[in-house]
Amino acid sequence: MSARAGCGVAGRCGAVLAALVALFAAGCGTPGQDESGGPGFAFLVATADGFATSHGLRYTIGGARGMTPVGPSNRTDTFHGTPYLISRAALIADDAALMIHAERVADGSGASNYDELPPADWPDAAFRSEGPTCMEVPASEVEGESDLEWLRAGGFDPAGVLEVQQYFAATPDHNDEIVVTLMARVAGCDDAAAGAAALEALRGRVSIVAGPGATPAPR
């Protein structure tokens, strides 16, 4: 799941902490219902080489060189009392993964508000990001966290040392959102330049493009 800078601001809980599990909001939500067959909604659909979103933020994700599409699947979860409808998918390789969440605030309360985060220059000007972080993820932290277990089952083991960056975009009413999570395996966290290069290489392997019918996110 997505991460936020602390649990006191609008949106779901999470922070860039010492484990990737924190980025996916572990411990902040109630146990989710994972229904890959579809619980009555689908905000991501498979394309020839990736995925396309189908809610208020229309994007295509694909063109990945040497990466395998996994998903999409659909689930529900609750974060700080707010229910979410969640579609997720990923592009994976041995050394990296891009995970995409297309989500809707189920009660229409506008909880997906990322306006306090700094603007990002990727994938496009609609997105915001807190920047990259490096973390070592123990194998034990993967157990019991829906997204991390899902990535591992799809072929990318999130345990180990990863350079990670998340990008957030939401509709003006803050009810539909997209979260893009980049994860690149690195040798260690003591070489910031190597981490930055790994993320840049991953960004260069994929294409995320706004499509017709998209609702621009506010700046």
- Summarize pLDDT for 11-48 with one digit per residue, the tens: 332 333 334 554 554 333 334 444 444 458 999 999 98
Q: Is residue 154 part of a domain?
A: yes
Q: Is residue 193 part of a domain?
A: yes
Share of the chain above pLDDT 70, in %: 79
DSSP string, the chain: ----S-SSSSS------SSHHHHTTTTTEEEEEEETT-SS--SEEE-SSSEEE-SSS-EEEE--TT-EEEEEEEEEEEETTEEEEEEEEEEE-SSEEEEEEEEEETT-------TTSPB-SSS-TT-B----EEEEE-HHHHTT-HHHHHHHHHT----EEEEEEEEEEE-TTS-EEEEEEEEEE-S-SS-HHHHHHHHHHHHHH-EEEE-TT--PPP-
Q: Is residue 216 part of a domain?
A: no
Predicted local confidence at residue 7, as pLDDT = 28
Q: Is residue 143 part of a domain?
A: yes
Averaged pLDDT of the chain: 83
β-pair type (82-92, 207-210): unpaired
Predicted local confidence at residue 39, as pLDDT = 57
pLDDT at 128 > cutoff 60: yes
Q: Rounded distance, CA 60 to CA 138, Å?
A: 32
Q: Is residue 13 part of a domain?
A: no
Number of domains in the chain: 1
- Whole-prediction pTM: 0.84
Q: Is residue 5 part of a domain?
A: no
* Mean pLDDT of the region 169-183: 97
Lowest mean pLDDT: which of 21-25, 51-55, 135-139, 183-187? 21-25
Range of the domain at 97: 20-210
- Summarize pLDDT for 47-104 with one digit per residue, the tens: 988 999 999 999 999 888 889 999 999 999 998 899 999 999 999 999 999 999 999 9
Residue keyed to tokens 């999470």: 14
Cis peptide before 69 (omega within 30 of 0): no
Q: Is residue 6 part of a domain?
A: no
Report residue 109 as tokens.
């309360």
Q: Is residue 1 part of a domain?
A: no
